[in-house]
Structure 1
Amino acid sequence: MSQTSAKSRVSLMASCRGALLGVALLSGLINILYLSGSLYMMEVYDRVLPSRSIPTLLGLSAIILALFMFQGLFDMLRGRIFARVGAAVDEDLSQRVFRYQVAAPLRGNAEGDGQQPLRDLDQIRAFLAGGGPSALFDLPWIPLYLFICFAFHPLLGWVTVGGAAVLISFTVITDVLTRKASKAAVQAASQRNGIGEGARRNAEVVHAMGMAGRIGQMWAQANAQYLGHQQQASDVSGGLGAFSKVMRMTLQSGVLGIGAYLVIHGEATGGIMIASSILVSRALAPVELAIANWKGFVAARQGWSRLRSSLEDDGSEMRPLQLPAPKASLSVESAGSGAPKSQRFAVQDVSFELQAGMGLGIIGPSASGKSSLARMLVGVWPAWRGKVRLDGAALDQWLPEELGAHIGYLPQDVELFAGSVAQNIARFHPNPKAEDVVRAAVAADVHEMILRLPQGYETQVGEGGAGLSGGQRQRIGLARALYGNPFLVVLDEPNSNLDNEGEHALTRAIQGVRERGGIAIVIAHRPSALAGVDHILVLDEGTVRKFGLKEEVLSSVLRPVPASNANQVNTAKSA
């Protein structure tokens, strides 16, 4: 376990320790007050009825009413404390869980249901706010009821002990029989939700190519597995829960019968007979309640186990020293990286250096590692070997939030978020300056286009930018990459959806980054995207083949066509 995770858990437990101590105290008071009903019945049978004293009955009734009111008040307070403990746990972990979910695809942990960590946290909070924890806090008070039963008569005590042992054995059996099925149900639900989420994300492809029926069959199979495992766990816990309820009722009636037997033989009073029956019911109620809530307890325990294993090594609470903004250089030192959880380098032994004001174009055949290199340069993929440095500081010496302010990144697949155009350009900064948003849009030459939208900068783009065309999404994504004048701007196929006007705007944006002292890196298949750069890097099979000034590299890469071949080409065109 990481030191960060241990400190986080200690902090979480410390913040809840006072509340849990308060719950323990309230549970003690509640369980003591639970005795009042038995004592009231015993006093009524042994004192009020023989004496026929109405004042005594009224006095006892007033006392028991007050005690019941205090019992209800304490029980309400205990429930509210549990609800707030659940909220505190959620507040402490929710941001870390969200950051883990966002980072999971970058670590190769995005299989199945991407929302499972949040579901686990919701399950833990729901369990804490339910009746399960109350039963667990009431279980330690069972010996008190058993002691009083023994004080009434040893036979009553032993019968109660036997019944408690049977119900506790039911609890253990419930845990053993439902553990595997509950775990399998969660895994099946994760697989089912993952299929559904994938189909939703790719709805256009699914619809256009008639894949809905086949994807639906896959979802139905996963859903059938989930329902089967869930039904198995529910049948076991429900059956044992019903049997435990019958067992408790049988035991309560049995104790009443044994009490009557003792009364007949003069070994107990009628009040003891009634009180012992109530005490047995009260003594076994926590066990029955624990069995009834066992499914939620198992789900919460498994959810906590998954969360703990997910968060213990995330390093999200490590806070390195804040570094000054980079402004001089980008250096790549024999660096290599690959896809998360992959055993193969997508790029390796990459070395080059750029100074402020330079522009680099990265070219190469398909699957040569260009996009992989872009991901490594911006820190999306950590360098497995070597280093990527800004002003001499490796990228892993920055917090992602701080590093992100100095980096502009436009991936191949531009993803916008549900919100306004201005929010997307400003990277959802809570209080962006209007002039900074407009400056980024002007730098990307998209200001006029945005003004022609229905609500201008306040136009809602929809989830994934569904309300915009591909070219509009790409140009707004470029404005987002330029927001805040980042030092390093990496653009991956930035002209794939652009027309001639958009390509000219892209060239001006790249030149603008260089003129203000930044570094611009462009990955392109089309030569028009390289107009604004002064250096070229040729990548092939994940390794650097050439690096240097644009004219020198292009002259060696783009060989001139022989005259005879050129004449043949012209003849073919004329034909």
Structure 2
Amino acid sequence: MMKSNFAGGSDHRLAPIMPLLRRTFLGIGIVSAFLNVLLLAGSLYMMLVYDFVIPGRSIPTLIGLLLMVIAAYVFQGLLDALRGQLLIHLASSVDLQLEAKAHDVVVTLARLYPAQDPGQPIRDIDQVRGFLGGPGPVALVDLPWVLFFVGVLFLLHPWLGATVLLGAGVLIALTLLSERATQATMAELVRLNRNRQQAIDTSRRHAEAIHAMGMQGQLQGIWREANGAYRDAQVTMSGKASALVTASRMFRLFLQSGVLTVGALLVLSGEASGGVIFASSILSSRALAPIEATIANWRGFVAARQSWRRLGDIMAFDGERQPVQMLPPPSQSLSAEALTLAPPGSDKPLVWSISFLAYAGEAVAILGPSGSGKSTLLRGLAGSLPPLSGAVRLDGAMMSQWPRQVLGRGIGYLPQSVELLPGTIAQNIARFDPSSTPERIIAAAEQAGVGDMIQALPDGYNTEVGIDGRRLSGGQRQRIALARALYGDPFLILLDEPNANLDSVGEAALIQAIRSVKARGAIVVLVAHRPSVLVAVDNVLTLRDGRALSYGPQPDSILQGTQAK
């Protein structure tokens, strides 16, 4: 299952991004080199003013030095802005490279592994993008320049360099301590946040039932427990990070005073000039600033690193490999060959070794008691559930031989739980196809017998259906979803209890729709508890406990009972 697909190197799917990262960070490194060298300007200016300008009382020299340091500061600002823009562009480019694959993975995870959090890849991309566009990478890029500034301090005097080098070692030790203290907590924080999101999403999805049955208190308790666990972990995490940041800042202040003290002692002993005191103070601040900034951004770095690793694993998950289209659209037959299916995230079959064959222009009804595997079988025929064994074939070819987007245009699917997508009725019927035409949309609606109902609405086909289609009644959603299934004249039409929410008028329209699509050579497979729709069916597949009991023309007793009703 999922673990096997996730095995292997986590950078497999991130490999296309690596050249972009290398080029960008190479450019950032070059910009940072010039920027850090220019940072010496302030220290040199201070030394020259105290050691030459003031003793010589030379105003022209002071003005010349001032103009040079202003120019250096202007270039610093420009280079710093350029570095920031490079990082922002990099963050946006990474998002652009990953967005399409991330969306496909989210859909696949939601379909095949409902226990997983399908939204995590999107949050991971947000985390990586936010880190790349923030101050964290700047601190990491500037870290090697700590040695450069320490080296300059050694040139001023070995004791100054040794003092700052010792301080840098202490700050690095604090950084490593921060790593040990936050890594496990950060992973736990991600897990608790996932539980928290699932709790609130459950309450949102089932709001009507919760309100009707007075379950607010119980669901609120579940939410508060999940949110409380997340809050406590976040407080712990923030406390550790805050303590380490505070400790590093306090030590840096102490170290800065220590550098001034060492510089003063060197001046008193005649081993350094007065300007060295101020220059060493500025240089020590420059040397330690990247370390302190790294500590301050360490939590974001750890979170981004974990997100990057998860993205590497997620992107290595291929789901379904899309073949190059070689075959024409299916038009002749549908067959199931010893098809065995399990629910998402499980390897325990609900449907065992089902086999049947249907030809163009036929309709097949799947009958059986509740829990016999009817809806699971229909999902397998739609390709939504990969088989544990066996195969589904169209025109003798396995469904995997068509690209999913191409095959999807030849399949109309009405699931048991009808949920329309946010948008207009026309967009939902057209499956959000940007190339759809009003004529094709209206044709599908008329074929489903829902055209008059849509036109009776105030905004007609432009009516907004709302989230999950909640602005419409259950019967209206069902009939519009039927029109969506019929849009584009698909060859295979799969209907799961299509008459569950329909009145007599809706059922009559459904029966007529089944007959019309059969007449144009399509195959219809439907699940039905109410037998009235069976008058349009040619063959019946009967299931019990996930196994096929019989397949063939429907018995006269079923047909007579249907007609009697």
Q: Are 1:479 and 2:517 counterparts?
A: no
In structure 2, relative to structure 1, the CA distance for the partners of 1:34 and 1:318 (3 Å cut) is farther
- Whichever residue aligns with residue 446 of structure 2, its letter is V
Q: Distance in 2 between matches of 1:484 and 1:401?
A: 13
- Whichever residue aligns with residue 75 of structure 1, its letter is D
Aligned position for 1:261: 265
Aligned position for 1:93: 98
Query: How big is each residue's C-alpha offset from its partner over 1:533-574, in whole Å with a ceiling of 9 and x where there is no partner?
Result: 11111111111111011246958999xxxxxxxxxxxxxxxx
**SS at 2:128 equivalent:** helix
Aligned position for 1:15: 20
Say which is worse superposed, 369-378 or 212-221, in terms of deviation: 212-221
Q: Distance in 1 between matches of 2:448 and 2:559?
A: 30
Percentage of pairs with the same residue: 46
In structure 2, relative to structure 1, the CA distance for the partners of 1:225 and 1:3 (3 Å cut) is closer
Q: Are 1:211 and 2:227 counterparts?
A: no
Query: How big is each residue's C-alpha offset from its partner over 1:264-316, in whole Å with a ceiling of 9 and x where there is no partner?
Result: 11111111221111111100000000111111111111222222222211346
Aligned residue among 45, 51, 59 for 1:46:
51
Q: Distance in 1 between matches of 2:538 and 2:321?
A: 40
Query: How big is each residue's C-alpha offset from its partner over 1:343-388, in whole Å with a ceiling of 9 and x where there is no partner?
Result: 3111111111111111111111111110010000000101110110
Q: Distance in 2 between matches of 1:384 and 1:143?
A: 59
Query: How big is each residue's C-alpha offset from its partner over 1:83-110, in whole Å with a ceiling of 9 and x where there is no partner?
Result: 1111111111112112212221222244
Aligned position for 1:146: 150
| 1:517-532 correspondence runs (5 A) | 517-532=521-536
Aligned position for 2:301: 297
- Whichever residue aligns with residue 508 of structure 1, its letter is Q
Unaligned runs of 5+ in 2: 1-5
Q: Are 1:550 and 2:535 counterparts?
A: no
Q: Distance in 1 between matches of 2:485 and 2:266?
A: 86
In structure 2, relative to structure 1, the CA distance for the partners of 1:365 and 1:316 (3 Å cut) is closer
Aligned position for 2:60: 55
Residues 114 and 194, structure 1, Cα contact 8 Å, conserved in 2:
no
Q: Distance in 2 between matches of 1:439 and 1:129?
A: 49
Query: How big is each residue's C-alpha offset from its partner over 1:175-206, in whole Å with a ceiling of 9 and x where there is no partner?
Result: 10011222212211111111101100110011
| 1:64-75 correspondence runs (5 A) | 64-75=69-80
Q: Distance in 1 between matches of 2:285 and 2:242?
A: 20
- Whichever residue aligns with residue 33 of structure 2, its letter is G
Q: Distance in 1 between matches of 2:230 and 2:141?
A: 32
Q: Are 1:129 and 2:103 counterparts?
A: no
Q: Distance in 1 between matches of 2:144 and 2:33?
A: 9
**SS at 2:468 equivalent:** helix
- Whichever residue aligns with residue 66 of structure 1, its letter is A
**SS at 2:378 equivalent:** helix
| 1:237-276 correspondence runs (5 A) | 237-276=241-280
Aligned position for 2:399: 395
**SS at 1:326 equivalent:** coil
Aligned residue among 341, 346, 352 for 2:345:
341
Q: Distance in 1 between matches of 2:544 and 2:214?
A: 37
In structure 2, relative to structure 1, the CA distance for the partners of 1:310 and 1:134 (3 Å cut) is same
**SS at 2:337 equivalent:** strand
Query: How big is each residue's C-alpha offset from its partner over 1:499-532, in whole Å with a ceiling of 9 and x where there is no partner?
Result: 1111111111111111111101111111111111
Q: Are 1:430 and 2:434 counterparts?
A: yes
TM-score, normalisation: structure 2? 0.96
Say which is worse superposed, 328-337 or 394-403, in terms of deviation: 394-403
Alpha-carbon distance, 1:323 to partner: 2.9
Residues 10 and 309, structure 2, Cα contact 8 Å, conserved in 1:
no
Say which is worse superposed, 369-378 or 320-329, in terms of deviation: 320-329
Aligned position for 2:110: 105
Q: Distance in 2 between matches of 1:141 and 1:494?
A: 68
Q: Distance in 2 between matches of 1:288 and 1:350?
A: 65
Aligned position for 2:471: 467
Q: Distance in 1 between matches of 2:279 and 2:129?
A: 37
Query: How big is each residue's C-alpha offset from its partner over 1:456-502, in whole Å with a ceiling of 9 and x where there is no partner?
Result: 00001111111111110000000000001011001010001111111
Q: Distance in 2 between matches of 1:443 and 1:411?
A: 19
Residues 5 and 313, structure 1, Cα contact 8 Å, conserved in 2:
no
Aligned position for 2:235: 231
Q: Distance in 2 between matches of 1:31 and 1:318?
A: 49
Q: Are 1:363 and 2:367 counterparts?
A: yes
**SS at 1:462 equivalent:** coil
Q: Distance in 2 between matches of 1:468 and 1:351?
A: 38
Alpha-carbon distance, 1:321 to partner: 3.5
Query: How big is each residue's C-alpha offset from its partner over 1:406-452, in whole Å with a ceiling of 9 and x where there is no partner?
Result: 10000111010111000000011113111110010011000000000
Q: Distance in 2 between matches of 1:494 and 1:527?
A: 11
In structure 2, relative to structure 1, the CA distance for the partners of 1:134 and 1:319 (3 Å cut) is farther
Aligned position for 1:502: 506
Aligned position for 2:381: 377
Q: Distance in 2 between matches of 1:5 and 1:517?
A: 47
Q: RMSD of aligned C-alpha atoms?
A: 1.9
Residues 444 and 483, structure 2, Cα contact 8 Å, conserved in 1:
yes
Q: Distance in 1 between matches of 2:229 and 2:11?
A: 36
Q: Distance in 1 between matches of 2:53 and 2:19?
A: 50
In structure 2, relative to structure 1, the CA distance for the partners of 1:291 and 1:4 (3 Å cut) is closer
Q: Distance in 2 between matches of 1:435 and 1:6?
A: 47
Q: Distance in 2 between matches of 1:279 and 1:6?
A: 39
**SS at 1:536 equivalent:** strand
Alpha-carbon distance, 1:164 to partner: 0.2
**SS at 2:533 equivalent:** helix
Alpha-carbon distance, 1:399 to partner: 2.7
- Whichever residue aligns with residue 100 of structure 1, its letter is V
Q: Distance in 1 between matches of 2:9 and 2:401?
A: 17
Residues 123 and 299, structure 1, Cα contact 8 Å, conserved in 2:
yes
In structure 2, relative to structure 1, the CA distance for the partners of 1:11 and 1:172 (3 Å cut) is same
Residues 348 and 543, structure 1, Cα contact 8 Å, conserved in 2:
yes
**SS at 2:343 equivalent:** coil
Q: Distance in 1 between matches of 2:207 and 2:346?
A: 28
Aligned residue among 32, 35, 54 for 2:40:
35
Alpha-carbon distance, 1:34 to partner: 0.9
Residues 11 and 313, structure 2, Cα contact 8 Å, conserved in 1:
no
